Amino acid sequence: MRHLSLTAVGGDLNDTVSLVEGREPVLAPGDVLVEVDAAPVNNADLLFTMGWFAAQPRLPQALGAEGVGRVVRVGDDVDRSLTGRRVLILPTFVQGTWAEQIVVPAHSIVPLSVTDEADVLQLAMLPVNPATARALLHDYVALRPGDWIGLNLANSAVGHYVITLAKQAGIKTLAVVRREEAAKQVRALGADAVVVDSPELGERIAAALNGEHLRLALEGTTDPEQTAALVRSLEDGGTVVTFAAATGQAPSVPVGDLIYRGIVLRAFFILNWIRDTAPEKRQEVYAELATLVEQGVLKAPVEATYSLQDHQAALSHAARPERTGKILFVPRNPRS
Ligand SMILES: NC(=O)c1ccc[n+]([C@@H]2O[C@H](COP(=O)([O-])OP(=O)(O)OC[C@H]3O[C@@H](n4cnc5c(N)ncnc54)[C@H](OP(=O)(O)O)[C@@H]3O)[C@@H](O)[C@H]2O)c1
């Protein structure tokens, strides 16, 4: 049972990550053994290796947060009918999905009912980004068809899912990206207005909205100028939800907007959503998202897949800016 293991926090991943042969899997009563079909590399995984994430690595640390696979064995207290089922593996940052097989507690998997035709790479990405997009869209402001929302990092996977889910709900999207190629991608996806970041971003967003206002702004850069530009077109009392900090800065809303206009700044974290959402509700959300994946409605672009052996190339590829899509490990040949 080979897996990728982190041996030191921080430093060059070429030196700190290696492919190791694990021990024969031992299942505690509540565990399941899952054969991993695919597992993405997310920004959070890279932050985790640096010690810059909510959870800290315990060395040697098995890596990889989410993925999809099939249950091959279950522990004594686990429903035997799970054996053979395709399941999502939810992130724990304790067990690692960049592995041929993984032992996880049964409460960290979600059985899927989709057919074998569903795209395994897209399913592997379901636990984190699509659930994040759905929560960003539905859990903060009660949006109605015809409302506008704004988002930056719009060409990211999260951006793809937000735009797709918003379109389905009749909600209009004002998408901010930082380069023209990304603008083309997001326009093709169906964003209602697309603006490339520039010094006059606030004016250009206002012009694109043509007198209308945003009801919700989803902010992933924490660049104070991008946030201020979105906030300028947010309705009074509107909400900004921070979901990422691509520039590494602290999120901020101009003080006049906070005090005089009642703008609300909130933040989202997927591990808290997983922890705080009742298992039945979680199952319902993932079933709904998996169906959209199966129908080909919900998808994020994939730029490349790698074997576990090629982890150095995979991890440096995932850290590259201006990708056209996500990077995933495919530890074994996925079943069709
Ligand atoms: N809060 C949560 O629970 C949660 C959940 C899921 C994801 N996230 C975060 O959401 C972000 C998107 O995740 P993803 O998997 O969808 O990412 P992704 O598909 O890998 O895309 C990365 C995005 O970040 C942009 N970007 C990178 N550095 C930037 C910078 N300095 N300024 C502006 N834009 C920058 C990229 O733009 P280019 O294409 O132009 O390089 C691209 O749009 C990540 O930061 C991730 O950690 C948070």
Domain boundaries, position 185: 140-267
Residue 215 inside a domain? The answer is yes
Mean pLDDT over 325-329 rounds to 98
Residue 336 inside a domain? The answer is no
Are 110 and 98 in contact by the 8 Å Cβ rule? The answer is: no
- Residue 333 pLDDT class (50, 70, 90 cuts): low
Interval between CA 42 and ligand 1 midpoint (Å)? 9
Asked whether the predicted pLDDT for residue 212 surpasses 80, the reply is yes
- At 223-238, the pLDDT tens digits run 999 999 999 999 999 9
For a mutational test of ligand 1's pocket, the pick from 41, 42, 43, 249, i.e. the residue with the most ligand atoms closer than 8 A to its C-beta, is: 43
pLDDT at 334 (0 to 100): 40
In degrees, to the nearest 5, what angle opens at C-alpha 62 toward C-alphas 60 and 64?
A: 145
* Residues 58 and 151 placed together within one structural domain of the fold: no
- At 61-96, the pLDDT tens digits run 999 999 999 999 999 999 999 999 999 999 999 999
Main-chain dihedrals φ then ψ at residue 205, nearest 5 degrees: -65, -45
What domain count does the chain have? Answer: 2
This model's pTM is above 0.75: yes
* Residues 22 and 114 placed together within one structural domain of the fold: yes
* Residues 119 and 6 placed together within one structural domain of the fold: yes
Main-chain dihedrals φ then ψ at residue 184, nearest 5 degrees: -60, -45
Helices (H), 25-111: 43-50
pLDDT at 332 (0 to 100): 81
Asked whether the predicted pLDDT for residue 336 surpasses 90, the reply is no
* Residues 160 and 242 placed together within one structural domain of the fold: yes
* Residues 235 and 263 placed together within one structural domain of the fold: yes
Main-chain dihedrals φ then ψ at residue 172, nearest 5 degrees: -90, 145
Residue 335 inside a domain? The answer is no
* Residues 156 and 251 placed together within one structural domain of the fold: yes
Distance of CA 329 to the CA centre of its chain: 15
Single residue among 250, 267, 284 that ends a domain in this structure: 267
Residue 108 inside a domain? The answer is yes
Protein residue closest via CA to atom 11 of ligand 1 = 244
- CATH number, domain at 146? 3.40.50.720
DSSP 8-state assignment for residue 99: B
* Residues 146 and 249 placed together within one structural domain of the fold: yes
Interval between CA 243 and ligand 1 midpoint (Å)? 9
Residue 104 inside a domain? The answer is yes
- CATH number, domain at 325? 3.90.180.10
* Residues 187 and 219 placed together within one structural domain of the fold: yes
Interval between CA 45 and ligand 1 midpoint (Å)? 12
Q: How would you label 176-209 residue by residue, b for 16+ Cβ within 10 Å and e otherwise? A: bbbeeebbebbeebebbbbbbbeeebbebbbebb
Helices (H), the chain: 13-16, 43-50, 120-124, 129-138, 157-168, 180-189, 201-209, 224-232, 255-261, 270-276, 279-294, 311-318
